[in-house]
Amino acid sequence: MDPVTEQWFADRTWQTPDWTVAELVAAKNGRRVSVVLPALDEETTVGAIVSAIVPLTRGPAPLVDELVVVDSGSTDRTVELAAAAGARVVHREDVVPHLDPVPGKGEVLWRSLAATDGDLIVFLDSDLVDFDPGFVPALLGPLLTEHGVGLVKGFYRRPLRLETTENDTGGGRVTELLARPLLAALRPLLSGIVQPLGGEYAATRELLESVPFAAGYGVEIGLLIDAHDRLGPAGLAQVNLGVRKHRNRSLLQLGVMARQILGAVLRRCDVPDSGHGLTQFLQIDGEWLPSVHRVEVEERPPMREVREMSRT
């Protein structure tokens, strides 16, 4: 890292976040906190995550003011189990209903801005295993206690879970093979971010409503670049969340994800993107056959602009 990035890393990285819930509640000063979980067929994990967060919503002065699961068209028991565990469940189609939804995680996160009212929003993936509710106060810490911070990224050790075995490290393959090299080449000041693609992060509504959202898996790196461009290095922070376990995807699935991430980065660097889908090859009965995947590189405009247009 260059000296500027090294200094940022030293100033804005919390290796052992130790804020207590009581300290953060006192620091809210009237601000509301929303926790959002995007979900698509996550019946095996979403209930436990919601149940772990619910205690933070209780009491006369809770840390979390609303806990929302935004469903993206689940066909399993995700909605039922999330509601039973204590979340308010919102269906993607019911938010900003005048715009037809497009596929993708970013689409759901973008619509969640219109389904919540928190001044600070915590995003958590809904496929996490052995979820630690301490993620929430850790992510909120810099937003509530440090002046000028607009986006807080979580970082962690990521075990790689392969069928019945688990390697201590090795998760985050797209991060190491694509995102980190891309940022080093095109946005070197972001080289100090440990988990640029991580799905656990928190931000101010003011920031989130002022930037576009990549509709697919490019949403995280797009928000990171846009936050840096808008707020500068001082507006970014990161906290150590310990260990993050989730459902790891196959290399073919990660290829589609990587294509969406690349599209989001190219757009923000003013590099033309062909918009073409991704061709992968499968071996079937001894023959290699192409499989073409349509890749969503669509972007949603800043939610603030959508709100303003709806008033006119």
Q: Phi first, then psi: what are they for 284, rounded to 5°?
A: -125, 120
Mean pLDDT of the region 227-233: 97
The burial class, CB within 10 Å (0-12 / 13-18 / 19+), for 290 is exposed
Number of folded domains that form the chain = 1
Q: Predicted confidence band at 195 (pLDDT cuts at 50, 70, 90)?
A: very high
Would you give the distance in Å from CA 11 to the centre of its chain?
A: 23
Mean pLDDT of the region 184-200: 95
3-state secondary structure at position 147: coil
* Calpha distance 150→221 (Å, rounded): 15
**Residue 280 lies in domain:** 3-311
pLDDT in tens, 96-145: 999 999 989 999 999 999 999 999 999 999 999 999 999 999 999 999 99
- The answer to whether residue 165 scores a pLDDT higher than 60 is no
Quick one: what percent of the chain has pLDDT higher than 90? 81
The predicted structure's pLDDT at residue 311: 75
Beta carbons of 299 and 215 less than 8 angstroms apart: yes
The predicted structure's pLDDT at residue 244: 86
* Calpha distance 200→214 (Å, rounded): 17
**Of the candidate ranges 75-89, 163-177, 204-218, 263-277, the one whose mean pLDDT is the lowest:** 163-177
Q: Average pLDDT, whole number, for the chain?
A: 92
- The answer to whether residue 55 scores a pLDDT higher than 50 is yes
* Calpha distance 277→258 (Å, rounded): 12
The predicted structure's pLDDT at residue 65: 98
**Of the candidate ranges 10-19, 133-142, 296-305, the one whose mean pLDDT is the lowest:** 296-305
CATH number of 252's domain: 3.90.550.10
Largest CA distance in the chain: 65
- The answer to whether residue 278 scores a pLDDT higher than 50 is yes
